[in-house]
A and B are shown apart, each in its own frame.
Chain A
Amino acid sequence: MNKFIIPLIVFMAISVLLLWGLFGPERRAGGVLVKTTQIDRSIRDFQLQRLYKNEQFASDSLRGKVWMLNVWASWCVACVQEHRVLQAMASENIAIYGLNYKDKPTDAKRWLAEHGNPYALIVMDNSKVSLDFGVYGVPESFLIDKKGVIRKKFTGPISWKDYQDVIKPMVKELEG
C-alpha cells in the first residue's frame, strides 16, 4: 500500500492543477481567456470626433476627474443589457464617456433616442483608439482615475452587482 502513496499524491496534484485550469477563476468569466494588459496603465490620450457636436474631444481634458469610458454600439445586444445600469450610474453622477464602436452616427443616435442617453458625451472611434484600449468586443468599460490611469476594466456588460460592489466604492475612493 505504502508503495502507492507517492504516485497517488503526484497524480492528485496533477489532477487538481488540470481541473484548476479547466474550471478555475480565469476560465469562469464565460470562457474568456484574454487577460487584459491595460490595468494600472496610463491611457493613451486621444482626440476624436464627437457624435452630437461637430467638434473634437481630447481625453486629456479629463485629467483631475474620475471617469468611465464605455465602449458601445447600436448593433450590440449586450449593450442594451447594461444600459439601465449605466443610466443608474449617470443619475448618481458618475461621468460616463461613450466610445461609439464600429457604428454609424445615425444608428447610434436612433439607439440613444430609444434607450436614453447616460453619457456625458460620446466620441466616435477611428479604429485606432479602440485598439489602444485593447478593445475586441462591445461592451467594454474602463474606470479611469484623476491621473488618467486605468484602474479597472470590465469586459462584457456591467451588472448591477458590478456597479454596487465594485464601481461605486472605487469611484468614491478615487475621488476622495
Chain B
Amino acid sequence: MKYAVMIALLLSMGLAIAKEAQPMVGDTVLEQKIHDLSKELRCLKCQNQSIFDSKSGFADQIRGELRDQFQEGKTDQEIKAFLTDRYGDFIVYEPPFTLANMLVWEFPVALLIIAILVLVTAIRKQQGRTRPEATVSDEQSERVKKLLSKGES
C-alpha cells in the first residue's frame, strides 16, 4: 500500500508540472513596441548598451516606464520627448538636429568639399599656365628637317 501511494504520487508529479509553455506576455503588439523603442534608447548606467540589452536596474525602470506609457497610448515620439526632457538628448541614440551636432556631422563633408575646391583651382591654375611660344626661325627648322632626314637616306 505504501508503495502504491508513493508510485501514484510520483506519477502524478509529472502531471502537476506538465504544462504548455506560456507565452511570456499576452500583448505581442505592446511587447514589440517596447522592444523596438528600447533599442533606440541608451542605458545611461551601463553605457554602450541599449535599454533593450541592459540588465541594470535603470534599464528595468525605463522598460517599465515604456510599458506604462505605451499602455496609456503614448507614441514613440512622446515617450522620447518625455525621457530627453528628464535625462537629456544623450538617452536617445539618434542625435537631435542642433547647430553643434550639425557642425560635428557636416565638418568632414565640408572638409571634403574644401579639399576638392582647392584641388580644382590648383589644376585650373596649372592648365592656365601656358608654355611660352617657342620661337623657331625658318633657318632652324630647315636644319632640323635635314638632321632628321639624314638618318633615313
Contact = CB atoms under 8 A, between A and B. Distances in A.
A102 B88 contact: no
Contact of A136 (B65, B85, B87): B87
Contacts of B26: none
B61 A37 contact: no
A35 B90 contact: yes
A37 B88 contact: yes
B131 to A, nearest CB: 24
B33 interface: no
Interface residues of B, number: 15
A42 interface: no
A132 interface: yes
A134 B58 contact: no
Interface string A129-158: 011111011000000000000000000000
A137 B59 CA distance: 11
Interface residues of A, number: 16
B45 A131 contact: no
B87 A134 contact: yes
A132 B57 contact: no
A127 interface: yes
Interface in B31-83: 44-45, 47, 57-58, 61-62, 64-65
A33 interface: yes
A35 B84 CA distance: 11
A131 B65 contact: yes
B86 interface: yes
Contacts of B61: 102, 127, 130-131
Nearest to A101: B57
A33 B44 CA distance: 9
A34 B65 contact: no
Given A131-B65, A136-B45, A37 B58 contact: no
A59 interface: no
Contacts of B84: 37
A133 B85 CA distance: 10
Contacts of A164: none
14 contacts: A33-B47, A34-B87, A36-B88, A37-B84, A37-B86, A37-B88, A38-B86, A102-B57, A127-B61, A132-B86, A134-B86, A136-B45, A136-B58, A136-B87
Interface of A: 33-38, 102, 127-128, 130-134, 136-137
